[in-house]
């Protein structure tokens, strides 16, 4: 027979969890179900929706834009992960483990771009990449190089230029959460390693990284999945162009919804984005399970 006290605790637990579950269902679950249902229809937003089976998915998977979008998303994810997690982890480690004057100042400087709006960052980097007076071309001229170009108009270089801007904006966020994880590593491990003769490099790879891997894993998932959700920076800097050279799946979805008024097709793209992001999250969690360390 169940303990009455346990029954009361269980009831209280469900009572406190209910508002969150209801809110999550209203904001996330119900719209996802509606989008999934709409993806099997042809609807222009005005007339009655007509069921068309898998036509929207067939159109998506045979679209030439999809190949470009997948390529750009993979490139986006790779650069974003290396830049934000790689540099963010190193900066966090240096700030935590080395005696540097003005640590707080450096943390604030690295985090400052996170506070800027996407539109401000986009305009800043558009100016930096400008073909005539941009900082990149000006520096290349000073160095005697003759590779001046309009960076945002190049098919592959354009998406790389955008993801560098995106990485610059978001790196401070990941640096800060990794920094917090590193600060929580008990000093006793470092003290014991010093007694055993470990140097800074050995401490980093055998203590710091293993004990912060769960936090780093969350950041990696965020960066990789963001490559398939990237929209604002791309839309503001190139609008997906020139042509479709900087398309990602969210850009395709936006064009389908607001340019073509193909709401069923746009919903199909949204469903595929969700499936890809959830799938990648599960794969990353599975691959990194063995690296999780409890202390």
pLDDT band of 175, cuts 50, 70, 90: very high
Residue 8 reports pLDDT greater than 70: no
Q: What is the CA radius of gyration of the chain?
A: 24
Q: Which region among 5-9, 105-109, 206-210 has the lowest average model confidence (pLDDT)?
A: 5-9
Q: What is the mean pLDDT of residues 264-279?
A: 93
Residue 107 confidence class, pLDDT cut points 50, 70, 90: confident
| Residue 246: predicted pLDDT | 92
* Model confidence at 146: pLDDT above 80: no
Q: Which of 132, 151, 129, 125 is nearest to 246 (CA)?
A: 151
**pLDDT band at 133, cuts 50/70/90?**
confident
Q: What is the pLDDT of residues 88-103, one digit of tens each?
A: 999 998 888 877 777 7
The CATH architecture one would assign to domain 52-291 is Orthogonal Bundle (1.10)
Residue 231 tokens, joined? 């929209």
Rounded mean pLDDT of the chain?
Answer: 87
pLDDT at position 129: 92
> Who contacts 262 (Cβ-Cβ below 8 Å, separation ≥6)?
42, 44, 56, 256
Residues of the chain with pLDDT > 70: what percent?
94
Question: Read out DSSP for 208-237?
Answer: IHHHHHHHHHHHHHHHHHHTTT--HHHHHH
Structure confidence at residue 291 as a pLDDT band (50, 70, 90): low
pLDDT at 157 over 70: yes
Q: For residues 183 and 208, is the Cβ–Cβ distance under 8 A?
A: no
Q: How far apart are CA 138 and CA 178, in angstroms?
A: 35
- Residue 50, strand partner residues: 42
> How does pLDDT run across 53-66, given as a tens digit for each residue?
999 999 999 999 99
pLDDT on residue 294: 58
User: What is the pLDDT confidence band of residue 168, given thresholds at 50, 70 and 90?
Assistant: very high
Integer angstrom CA distances of residue 92 from 22, 29, 221: 38, 36, 19
């Amino acid at each position: 027979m169940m303990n009455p006290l346990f029954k009361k605790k269980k009831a209280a637990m469900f009572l406190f969890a209910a508002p969150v579950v209801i809110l999550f269902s209203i904001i996330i679950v119900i719209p996802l179900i509606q989008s999934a249902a709409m993806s099997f229809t042809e609807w222009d937003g005005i007339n009655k929706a007509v069921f068309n089976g898998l036509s929207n998915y067939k159109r998506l998977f045979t679209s030439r834009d999809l190949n470009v979008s997948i390529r750009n998303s993979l490139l986006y994810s790779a650069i974003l992960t290396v830049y934000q997690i790689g540099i963010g982890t190193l900066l966090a480690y240096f700030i935590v483990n080395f005696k540097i004057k003005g640590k707080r100042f450096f943390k604030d400087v690295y985090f400052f771009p996170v506070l800027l709006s996407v539109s401000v960052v986009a305009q800043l980097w558009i100016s930096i990449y400008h073909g005539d007076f941009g900082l990149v071309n000006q520096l290349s001229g000073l160095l005697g190089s003759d590779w001046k170009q309009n960076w945002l108009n190049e098919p592959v270089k354009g998406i790389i230029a955008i993801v560098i801007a995106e990485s610059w904006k978001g790196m401070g966020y990941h640096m800060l959460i990794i920094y917090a994880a590193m600060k929580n590593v008990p000093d006793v491990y470092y003290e014991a390693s010093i007694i055993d003769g470990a140097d800074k490099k050995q401490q980093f790879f055998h203590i710091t990284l293993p004990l912060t891997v769960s936090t780093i894993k969350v950041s990696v998932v965020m960066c990789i999945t963001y490559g398939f959700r990237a929209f604002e920076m791309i839309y503001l800097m190139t609008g997906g162009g020139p042509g479709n050279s900087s398309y990602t799946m969210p850009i395709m979805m936006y064009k389908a919804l607001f340019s073509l008024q193909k709401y069923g097709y746009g919903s199909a793209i949204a469903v595929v984005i969700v499936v890809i992001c959830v799938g990648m999250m599960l794969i990353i969690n599975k691959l990194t399970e063995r690296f999780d360390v409890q202390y």
